[in-house]
Amino acid sequence: MQGIGNTILSLQQAVFAFETKLELFIRDIESGRLLHFETLRVYREDCLARDPAHHFDLRQLAAFTSDLLMSFKSRFADFRRHADLFKVITHPHVCTVDAQNLSVIPGISIGDFELEAAELKVSDMWVSKFFTLNSELESLARQRAELAKEHKWADMRKLQREDNLILKTWNELPATFSTLRRVSVAVLTMFGSTYTCEQSFSHLNNIKTNLRSRLTDESLNACMKLNLTSYDPNYKALSKMMQQQKSH
């Protein structure tokens, strides 16, 4: 559900949007309009055309959609519970985070967090950083929407990553906001699905085979880092730094 470079905040918004659509679908089914179920509406019209007395019962479909909505709300209950915490990464100057939210991040002083948040909110200079950040995120979202509309998925992968934009902004803040920065980094490392773990296991299975009998834990760790990182090293520059082995 969550792609590489996206944040848990964007995933949360996508989940909330899907829940809202499910609520819309339920009302649409219960009202009998079926504006969002064109195939079903056409089928119902055909049935009624053949047999005007036919009773078309939509209660089972409405109940199924309601169960799906309840399942989603239960599965992502933490998203709603910690909504203010997730907003810290992009709107630290307006969101309010309480002790319950911060309890999910170990080692954070609530007192220090509150003092730094209060100082940040009254500083036009640092608040402007997040206005700029949100403008950049908005521009990125527009680019993604345009590319998705044209099905240019390869070009979408070339766009700047959302998490890098956010991290860059936080790194520009001085050390006086160290607690706020720790909280933001902690939120950036959160993910709402297991895709990262599954991806890692897939790479591990490809690397650790019976043909590589001399693969140590250290070299395996290095291979995993190379496979999972988006960093593209400059091999030519690195090779120039190494001493060449001359033949005798």
For the chain, the structural domain boundaries read 8-79, 83-188, 195-227
Q: How far apart are CA 140 and CA 197, in angstroms?
A: 27
- Sole residue written with tokens 């949007």: 17
Give the pair of three-digit tokens for residue 30: 């219960």
List the pLDDT tens digit at each of the 248 positions of the chain: 556 678 888 888 889 999 999 999 999 999 999 999 999 999 999 988 888 888 888 999 999 999 999 999 998 898 888 989 999 999 999 988 888 889 889 999 999 999 999 999 999 999 999 999 999 999 999 999 999 999 998 898 888 888 899 999 999 999 999 999 999 999 988 876 667 777 888 888 888 888 877 788 888 888 888 887 777 778 788 888 776 666 55
Give the residue among 78, 240, 17 at the shortest CA–CA distance from 86. Answer: 78
Contact 166, 9 (CB under 8 A): no
Q: Where are the alpha helices (DSSP H) in 92-151?
A: 99-102, 110-121, 124-149
Contact 166, 184 (CB under 8 A): yes
Residue 190 burial (CB count, 10 A): 19
